[in-house]
Copies of this chain bind each other. A is one copy, B any other.
Amino acid sequence: MTRSGNNAGTSRYDDDLENTWGCASWFEYIFTVIIASVLLIGATALTLFWVIYYRNGFAWRDDPKIQFNLHPVLMVAGFITLSGFSILLYRLCRCLKHIYAKMAHTLFHTLAIPCVAIGFLAVYDSHNLNSPPIPNFYSLHSWLGLVTMGLFALQFVIGFFTFLVCLCCAKMTYGCRGAMVPIHASLGLATFLLAIASCISGLTQKAIWTLGDQYSKFTEEGIIINALGCVFIALAILVSFAVRRSNAPATAKVYVTERL
């Protein structure tokens, strides 16, 4: 490894012979990108459809029950769709310079923050405005959601300082950034999968509360909720697989010490 870490701004795809792909790799790559995009957009689209078609759409402060509907939509948009695109874009993008891929990764995660914040306020508010007020933070779903938000915030702050701010003195921070890469990557995937676990527990409790006995009768809404859960699971498998596959650009040998 002769190159130093301060070439983060240069493209490292086209001029790298070791990284040349065959037809099968390209097919697998394009297939993964298309399916992942469809599922990531589909997750938010299906949640929107469910909420608008079966749960009476949106409101803010007028009706706590309808205000709640912002919660699933915004959380799925922030934690699944935007974060998922951010992860895949960083790991799979072959057409951007590395620093631009980093910026796009940060941008998508930044866009997720207001979604998560408003999504959190929507449910907190709707619990408190309900008469009688519904207690907060008692369910496993809420505990999981809190852990996910905490991990997301931690990853965002540490990632921002380590991989962007520390680029100001790229040579000095090379070792530190190198040590952080596997931790940030593992915890990032863990955060995404935790978000999916939170969504699954949230869908389960919403299905039981709102559908009750109807849930066991294979009603339309029950099947939509289960299908949404399956989309999340497909995403969990696809994203875990995509970011770890051996021929993803980011796992090619040349990046092991350089992708910092």
Contacts and interface: CB of A to CB of B under 8 A. Distances in A.
A49 to B, nearest CB: 17
A215 B139 contact: yes
A194 B236 contact: yes
Question: Which of under 10, 10 to 19, 20 to 34, or 35 or more describes the interface residues of A?
Answer: 35 or more
Contacts of A246: 179, 182
Contacts of A179: 246
Contacts of A216: 134-135, 138-139
Q: How many chain copies? A: 2
Contacts of A143: 226, 229-230
A218 interface: yes
Contacts of A237: 187, 190, 194
Most chain B CB atoms below 10 A, which of A179, A200, A208, A222 = A200
Contacts of A197: 193, 196-197, 200, 233, 236
Interface of A is mostly: helix
Interface string A201-220: 10111011100000111100
B241 A186 contact: yes
A198 to B, nearest CB: 8
B244 A185 contact: yes
Interface string A167-208: 000000000000100110111011001101100110111011
Interface of A: 134-135, 138-141, 143-144, 147, 179, 182-183, 185-187, 189-190, 193-194, 196-197, 200-201, 203-205, 207-209, 215-218, 222, 225-226, 229-230, 233, 236-237, 240-241, 244-246
